[in-house]
A and B are shown apart, each in its own frame.
Chain A
Amino acid sequence: MKPTDPDVHWIEERPLGLTEKLYLPLVLQGLTTTARHLVGKKVTVSYPEERPAVGNPLIYRGVHRLNRDEEGRVKCVACFLCATACPAHCIDIVATESPWPDREKYPESFQIDELRCIFCGMCEEACPVDAVELTSFLDLTGKSREEMIFDKEKLLSVYDMTKDSEPMKSESLGGTL
């Protein structure tokens, strides 16, 4: 967009008034805000002793999970669309022919580098079969970088851990598949 574009509206800064020129009234105004927060209700929590409240777990973007279908198999069809959409290039999939008759291919290995991930949720949006989802699970810790590369088993275990508290978003939100 060029500066001369008709959609660009140029605004002049208005001249300072007397109180603004005196400077001190504004300092007092700022200090009042600080003081109000000192005595007011705290918004931070002492994590990990205290748990932050997750507003709506269905739209929270925490650790990923790989969903299972009704038969307990991984839902993913190894289409690579999450890996394509991922802006951080943190998803690595190796596809192979599926052993099941109702599906063409499935992921032989599915890895998400949780350290590289920026939790934007694009993978979740790209997935055509709602297999990869972000949970409200936020305790993401590990002792090594390798530990933070979540493989297929680990991502499926996140599903097993969270499936009761967080039903699959596709169903609860009237998903397409």
Chain B
Amino acid sequence: MPTVIVDGREIEIGADERLNCIEAARRAGTEIPHYCWHPGLSVVASCRMCLIEVGSRDAETGKISMVPKLVPGCQTPAKDGTVIVTQSSTVIESRARVEEALLIDHPIDCPICDKAGECLLQDYHFEHGKAERRADILPFTSKKRDVGPTVTLFADRCIMCTRCVRFTREVSGTGELMVNSRGSKEEIDIFPGYPLDNKLSGNVVDLCPVGALGDKDFLYQQRVWFLKRDEGVCGGCSAGCSIHVEHNQDTVYRLKPRENQHVNKWWICDEGRYGWHHLHDPQRLVEPTHRQSGQSLPTEWSHVVSELRANLNAAVSTGGRLGVAVSPMLTVEEAWMLCTLAREIDPQALLAVGHVPSRGEDESFPGGFTIRGEKCPNRVGVEHVIAAFDPTVPKWESLLESVEAGRCSAVWITAAYPPAGSRPAAESEPWIDEATAARVARLCEQTGTCLVVQDLFESPLSAHATWLLPAAGFAERSGTWVNHAQWAQHFERAIRPPSGVWPEGRLFWNMLGRRGLYDPAAIRREAAAASTALAALAEDLPSVGLDLRLQQLATT
């Protein structure tokens, strides 16, 4: 095993690992400050913040010979016998000078800068900079300009690390950003007439180590130190990107990508990034309603728990089946409880995968990131759950057919689909078209079928529902989603749902007659014991998730 010596500590690295000195030092628990280097982008070594002393140890004699000058850690490969010195007086002095040089041009408007609190320039200055500033304090001059529909550029705060430029060239492959002028007049800019407008544009804001690139959606909304961050999973498409949900007082303010090499690396798409606004849409359903003798009246959840079950039991006793559409927005745990509940009410209940929304084709980018056309996070997970009850795994269409054939005397449709394309619900197409909804509703009315609809917003179907129950948004659920590639990720709820809304998990838990609070882990263990496909869920999942197929291979 190759050995690297970091500040006198010997660290073993993998034989075929290609690490630079920053990564090798990180293994030893030493952080080498850096601005321009990012593991997902090419190396330019332009910021000079990661300058360190490097040498090599002769394998035979053990003699250490150092390189006579400082070298950038990001550009220097760590090999067997590489000696890294990060805390010598030369290195410390060099960092202080780089900080001082960067701050000559910087406006230091931290109180009004949105990046303050998560700014590398701030953090590194506290750690490596000098307290005294020798340059004269410049007056505030905002060089603020629009570079695209989602991003604002504050050119005076920029430290020219060019991470954003490399991102648009290497990952999104669109190349909108460039460096204009040279030397002290260097500036990030767009080509005239070609704004930064691509499906991954928001990532440049995350990449920016300072406050030069601002997210218009978040600009001026909240100071970052007020935000609490929870690990979550994006529900925008079947890629299931790992995210951080950043919120305060039960209000989501922004979503940020969370590094996960197995799923999304460091990125998320703009549709996912801005796809949280529907959570706080005033048009959301927030009250369960029950239609009796043609009149819809608001009701209590405790009433729903007892009466809905009685209602369904009565409907099933007339001889028809209970048809359940298990939405691919539900978590594995919620789907498991819904299926268990349906089979308790009617042992021959028809369990079908709910409507799978899909828009366009999968879209891949040069950096290896793919936006999926299937716009729901958990179709695979729901299919695994249903397969444990009914190996044929009926689809949404076969449920519609059964309803049309009059085989169902009760239909329970879980939906919870967010509005398409992160637009407000009022402006977006409902998930079910008028014709299908009218067909289902007409048949239900003719036969007196009990129709239960659980959704975030009103849809053509909700008007005909016997029971209309509000559903939870993606940040309000707890459970596990399985993405298109069988990658299972667990997440806890980040915010509480709006007052009056019970997440599906809580309703199903109570309807199953279980005591206490909804416990996803208990359900997960039950599901894992009963289904080989879900067996991997028996243990606590790592925060990056795991591949369900590996466990299946191990058991077969």
Contacts and interface: CB of A to CB of B under 8 A. Distances in A.
A84 B220 contact: no
B111 A81 contact: yes
Interface in B207-223: 219-221, 223
Nearest to A80: B223
Contacts of B225: 84
Interface residues on B, range: 10 to 19
A151 to B, nearest CB: 19
Given A105-B112, A128-B111, A78 B220 contact: yes
Nearest to B116: A79
Interface stretch (A28-36, A95-103, A136-144): A95-103
A98 to B, nearest CB: 9
Contacts of A84: 223, 225-226
Interface string B218-246: 01110101100000000000000000000
B111 A95 contact: no
A104 B109 contact: yes
A78 B112 contact: yes
Interface string B128-161: 0000000000001010100000000000000000
A145 to B, nearest CB: 20
A104 B144 contact: yes
Given A84-B225, A104-B144, A77 B111 contact: yes
A95 B220 contact: yes
Nearest to B117: A84
User: Helix, strand, loop or mixed for chain B's interface?
Assistant: loop
A104 B112 contact: yes
A77 B220 contact: no
B234 to A, nearest CB: 27
Interface string A101-130: 111110000000000000000000000110
A102 B112 CA distance: 13
A81 B111 CA distance: 7
Contacts of A128: 111
A97 B112 CA distance: 11
B427 to A, nearest CB: 23
Contacts of B111: 77, 79, 81, 128-129
Contacts, number: 31
Interface in B106-125: 109, 111-112
A97 B140 contact: no
Given A84-B225, A104-B142, A104-B144, A96 B112 contact: no
A129 B109 CA distance: 11
B136 to A, nearest CB: 15
A102 B140 contact: yes
A77 B114 CA distance: 12
Contacts of B219: 97
A128 B140 CA distance: 13
Contacts of B144: 104
A77 B223 contact: no
Contacts of B220: 78, 95-97, 105
A101 B140 CA distance: 10
Nearest to A108: B220
Contacts of A79: 111-112, 223
B216 to A, nearest CB: 10
Contacts of A77: 111-112
Contacts of B140: 102-104
A71 B142 CA distance: 19
A96 B112 CA distance: 11
Contacts of A101: 142
Given A95-B220, A102-B140, A105-B112, 15 more contacts: A77-B111, A77-B112, A78-B220, A80-B223, A80-B226, A81-B111, A84-B226, A95-B221, A96-B220, A97-B219, A101-B142, A103-B140, A104-B109, A104-B142, A105-B220
The 3 closest A-B pairs by CB, nearest first: A79-B111, A95-B220, A128-B111
27 contacts: A77-B111, A77-B112, A78-B112, A78-B220, A79-B111, A79-B112, A79-B223, A80-B223, A81-B111, A84-B223, A84-B225, A84-B226, A95-B220, A95-B221, A96-B220, A97-B220, A101-B142, A103-B140, A103-B142, A104-B109, A104-B112, A104-B140, A104-B142, A105-B112, A105-B220, A128-B111, A129-B111
